[in-house]
Amino acid sequence: MLRQLLNPMSVTAVKTGSNDFALEFVRWRRKPRWLPVAKSKVFRVPERKKQTEEERIELMRLHNQYKTQLRSVRQYLREEVIRHQETSTADHIVLTPEQEEAEFQRCLEVNAEWNAKIAGEREVRLAKERDEKVAYVQERLEAGKLREEERRERADERIRFEIEQSKTFVTRANLDEAIEAALANPVDHNFAIDLAGNLYRGRGTQSLNN
């Protein structure tokens, strides 16, 4: 039983109602054809069964009937092919030079119509693509102009701010005045803030430890 379960040739895949597959283990009723003959039966010559006269006559009758029907079908198909070849005019039409020239001219006209139709469709498509490209370029140019204007506005605003700030700059002309103002108004950045938020200035304030 274990050998039968481990034999991969005895496993059959059975498809169920869903998309899954189920494995079903089956046992061969006879030895598969691809396996060799058993060693015990290598030199065994099977006995040929003898047919009775009635069986031989019946088999011969069935064989002759089958061959007759097969010959009839072949003959019918052969006659159908011959009839189709005789009635078909595609392979038997012989065109004169005038007819060939007329057929060639007709093909040229049909080809010219196709080319004109395709050329018209191509022109419409190219015009549409050209308009779309022009619109895209115009949009990009307008966007670039807006960005340039915004950049100029920011630059002008920065320049105006720097001009306003330059009014307070110390120059060579007002250097003496700036020095006198600095000496008259000393600024001490040393200060402290306690937990209550009180501000204690620098050198002019006594220490809390004193």
Which of 83, 80, 103 lies closest to 93 in space, CA to CA? 103
Phi-psi region of 191 (alpha: psi -120 to 50; beta: other; left: phi over 0): beta
Each residue's pLDDT tens digit, 91-125: 556 678 888 888 899 999 999 999 999 999 999 99
What span, in angstroms and rounded, lies between the C-alpha atoms of 40 and 153?
A: 106
The model's pTM is 0.34
Each residue's pLDDT tens digit, 159-187: 999 998 888 888 888 888 889 988 888 87
Of 21-30, 39-48, 180-189, the least confident: 21-30
| The predicted structure's pLDDT at residue 74 | 96
The three-class DSSP label of residue 23 is: strand
What element of type H or E holds 15?
Answer: strand 11-15
Each residue's pLDDT tens digit, 129-157: 999 999 999 999 999 999 999 999 999 99
Residue 106 structure tokens: 């007709």
Residue 4 structure tokens: 């039968």
Share of the chain above pLDDT 90, in %: 42
5 contacts: CB under 8 Å, gap ≥ 6: 25
| The predicted structure's pLDDT at residue 205 | 53
Question: 59-66 long-range CB contacts below 8 Å, 24 or more apart?
Answer: none
| The predicted structure's pLDDT at residue 192 | 85
